[in-house]
Amino acid sequence: MKKSAQEALKNEMAFLKAQIKPHFLYNTLNTIAYFCTHDSKKAKELLNRFS
């Protein structure tokens, strides 16, 4: 029973991580896109750090 609960928790964490990654990626790219039109030096710096 204990092993089953641990497996369920592991699966839940994997599911939550999978949801966070696309959200993080979207926010990061959206921020870089903003700086492309407002501060190209900052955009370049962010792209270098992100890659």
4-41 tens-digit pLDDT: 888 888 888 888 888 888 888 899 999 999 999 999 99
In a domain, 7, yes or no: no
In a domain, 35, yes or no: yes
Token pair listed for 24:
């993080």
pLDDT at 45: 94
Helix 40-50 vs helix 2-38: crossing angle, to nearest 10: 150
pTM: 0.60
In a domain, 33, yes or no: yes
The CA distance from 7 to 40, in Å, is 46
Number of domains into which the chain is organized: 1
In a domain, 3, yes or no: no
User: Residue 42 belongs to what domain range?
Assistant: 20-51
In a domain, 14, yes or no: no
In a domain, 38, yes or no: yes
